[in-house]
């Protein structure tokens, strides 16, 4: 299969490219604008005869049209992805996440090319801590932030293009990913690199907010499963039963890194901070036979800590500017 992977130089997209090279015989073209969140290094080591990078914008209709025409399927990861940034400046979120997805939809419609659209569980809003229910494919949309609202908008566009124009698309909504190549602005890499640097980890508010963690490799295998076995027009939720509150995660990181588990700071909470995400992925498991490999969050976290220790050159250049931006907001 010749695959066009948008956002393939970002965190999850680059992990997906490594998965494709290791587990399939696909040829891959990455289309990526190389925003602050991307890195060419995340694609280093992949064979050039199977993986190539086109630097460009998913909102560039001519470029997208030409690339889509040259491929058998598009896996669409490209997005502005950080909630905190969407609170400071929503504009690029509307442009890339909504207009960019529209641009891809028009190209796959014209050329009859298969699309898999990668989305997030945040489109469903949040759950109470004691709610026995988890998100499932029929949970109503109720996004809280400009980021999650823009992703919800992109999901609605994909569904409308399936229904109105017969576009051959599937969708997935996944929970919080962790693993290598994640930008240091995000929760887990920020805290790991803080400890490496002798800074104290920063916990928003009381830290009781729950996230449902999945390793990026498991997200990749789920996307490949849906791309190859999923039913057109359907949505699949991806999750690995990894609920942890943020306080527990910071304590785990500190302990795994040999520090006292109370050596962190409480900082200003995120505006509109979603309380809890939790995914019921039973449809994906039952209908398509997918299973996560990383079942033990602590050992996945330990490997991720080791990766950030070994790849300081990769994240070092971003660290000070990320921390100054957070500090200016009291975070
Ligand atoms: P990321 O920010 O690490 O990477 C996004 C990539 O998209 C970057 O390489 C960036 O350069 C590229 N990009 C941004 N705007 C672009 C544009 N206009 N044209 C071309 N490329 C552009 O994000 P991520 O965490 O890897 O997330 C990837 C996808 O997965 C997103 O769609 C996100 O909504 C979704 N998702 C993420 C998570 C998570 O936990 N990170 C969970 C569920 C779903
Ligand atoms: O320093 C921090 N301290 C802190 O307590 C940061 C950066 C975050 N947090 C909290 C906020 C969240 O409750 O940690 C939790 C995780 O924060 P993020 O890493 O920013 O992730 P989140 O907002 O949950 O969104 C992530 O998962 C869903 C991705 O960034 C999204 O792209 C994805 O859709």
Confidence of residue 222 (pLDDT cuts 50, 70, 90): very high
Q: Which of 60, 67, 77 is the best mutation target for the ligand 1 pocket, counting ligand atoms within 8 Å of the beta carbon and taking the most?
A: 77
Q: Which of 187, 216, 239 is the best mutation target for the ligand 2 pocket, counting ligand atoms within 8 Å of the beta carbon and taking the most?
A: 187
Q: Which of 176, 240, 242, 249 is the best mutation target for the ligand 2 pocket, counting ligand atoms within 8 Å of the beta carbon and taking the most?
A: 176
Q: Are 96 and 79 in contact (CB under 8 A)?
A: yes
Taking residues 155-172, report their average pLDDT: 98
Q: How far apart are CA 172 and CA 117, in angstroms?
A: 7
Contacts of 265 (CB under 8 A, 6+ apart): 200, 201, 202, 203
Q: Would you say the CB of residue 122 lies under 6 angstroms from ligand 1?
A: no
pLDDT of the residue at 123: 98
Q: How far is CA 262 from CA 108, 245, 249, 270, 306, in A?
A: 51, 15, 12, 21, 21
**278 CA to middle of ligand 1, Å?**
21
Q: Would you say the CB of residue 279 lies under 6 angstroms from ligand 1?
A: no
Instruction: Catalytic residue, from 32, 57, 80, 122: name it.
Output: 122
The alpha carbon torsion through 91, 194, 250, 43 (nearest 10 deg) reads: 60
Torsions phi, psi for 90 (to 5 deg): -70, -20
Q: How far apart are CA 311 and CA 315, in angstroms?
A: 7
266: its two tokens: 């409480």
Confidence of residue 115 (pLDDT cuts 50, 70, 90): very high
Beta strands in the chain (DSSP E): 2-6, 27-32, 51-55, 73-76, 114-120, 169-174, 177-178, 202-204, 210-212, 214-215, 235-238, 243-245, 265-267
Q: How far apart are CA 77 and CA 174, in angstroms?
A: 12
Instruction: Catalytic residue, from 124, 147, 178, 277: name it.
Output: 147
Respond yes or no: is residue 122 known to be catalytic. Answer: yes
Taking residues 57-78, report their average pLDDT: 99
pLDDT of the residue at 1: 93
Distance of CA 169 to the CA centre of its chain: 19
Q: Are 144 and 152 in contact (CB under 8 A)?
A: no
Tell me the CB-side half-sphere exposure of residue 229, using CA atoms within 13 A: 14
Domains and CATH numbers, the chain: 2-178+213-238 (3.40.50.720)
Q: Are 201 and 255 in contact (CB under 8 A)?
A: no
pLDDT of the residue at 201: 98
Q: Would you say the CB of residue 63 lies under 6 angstroms from ligand 1?
A: no
What's the start-to-end Cα distance of the chain, in Å?
A: 45
Give the model confidence (pLDDT) of 241-276 as tens digits. 999 999 999 999 999 999 999 999 999 999 999 999
**231 CA to middle of ligand 1, Å?**
24
Q: How far apart are CA 157 and CA 64, in angstroms?
A: 17
The model's pTM: 0.98
Respond yes or no: is residue 19 known to be catalytic. Answer: no
Mean pLDDT, the chain, rounded, equals 98
Which ligand ends up closest to the CA of 272?
Answer: 2
pLDDT of the residue at 228: 98
- Using a pLDDT cut of 90, give the percent of the chain over it: 100
Q: How far apart are CA 330 and CA 112, in angstroms?
A: 49
Q: Would you say the CB of residue 199 lies under 6 angstroms from ligand 2?
A: no
Closest C-alpha residue for ligand 1 atom 4: 10
Q: Would you say the CB of residue 264 lies under 6 angstroms from ligand 2?
A: no
Taking residues 59-70, report their average pLDDT: 99
Q: Would you say the CB of residue 81 lies under 6 angstroms from ligand 1?
A: yes
Which residue do the tokens 């015989």 mark? 25
Give the model confidence (pLDDT) of 6-43 as tens digits. 999 999 999 999 999 999 999 999 999 999 999 999 99
> What does 224-267 look like in DSSP terms, one character per residue?
HHHHHHPPTT-EEEE--S-EEEHHHHHHHHHHHTTS-TT--EEE
Confidence of residue 153 (pLDDT cuts 50, 70, 90): very high
Q: Would you say the CB of residue 176 lies under 6 angstroms from ligand 2?
A: yes
Torsions phi, psi for 44 (to 5 deg): -65, 145
Residue 42 DSSP label: G
């Amino acid at each position: 299969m010749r695959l066009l992977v948008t956002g393939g130089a970002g965190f999850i997209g680059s992990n997906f490219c490594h998965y494709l090279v290791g587990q399939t015989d696909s040829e891959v073209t990455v289309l990526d604008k190389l925003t602050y969140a991307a890195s060419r290094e995340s694609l280093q080591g992949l064979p050039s005869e199977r993986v190539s990078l086109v630097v460009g914008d998913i909102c560039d209709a001519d470029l997208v049209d030409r690339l889509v025409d040259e491929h058998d399927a598009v896996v669409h990861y490209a997005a502005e992805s950080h909630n905190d940034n969407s609170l400071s400046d929503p504009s690029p979120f509307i442009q890339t996440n909504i207009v960019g997805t529209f641009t891809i939809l028009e190209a796959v419609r014209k050329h009859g090319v298969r699309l898999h659209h990668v989305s997030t569980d945040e489109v469903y809003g949040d759950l109470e801590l004691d709610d026995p229910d988890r998100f499932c494919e029929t949970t109503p949309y109720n996004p809280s932030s400009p980021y999650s609202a823009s992703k919800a908008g992109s999901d609605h566009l994909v569904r409308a293009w399936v229904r109105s124009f017969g576009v051959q698309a599937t969708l997935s909504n996944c929970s919080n990913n962790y693993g290598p190549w994640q930008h240091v602005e995000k929760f887990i890499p920020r805290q790991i690199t803080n400890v490496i640097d002798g800074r104290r980890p920063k916990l928003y508010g009381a830290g009781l907010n729950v996230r449902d963690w999945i390793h990026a490799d498991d997200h990749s295998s789920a996307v490949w499963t849906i791309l190859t076995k999923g039913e057109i027009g359907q949505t699949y939720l991806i999750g690995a039963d990894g609920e942890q509150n943020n306080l527990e995660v910071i304590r785990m990181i500190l302990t795994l890194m040999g520090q006292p588990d109370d050596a962190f700071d409480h900082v200003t909470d995120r505006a509109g901070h979603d309380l809890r995400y939790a995914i019921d992925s039973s449809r994906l498991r039952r209908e398509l036979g997918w299973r996560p490999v990383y079942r033990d969050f602590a050992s996945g976290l330990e490997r991720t800590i080791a990766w950030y220790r070994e790849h300081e050159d990769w994240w070092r250049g971003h660290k000070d500017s990320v921390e100054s931006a957070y500090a200016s907001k009291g975070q």
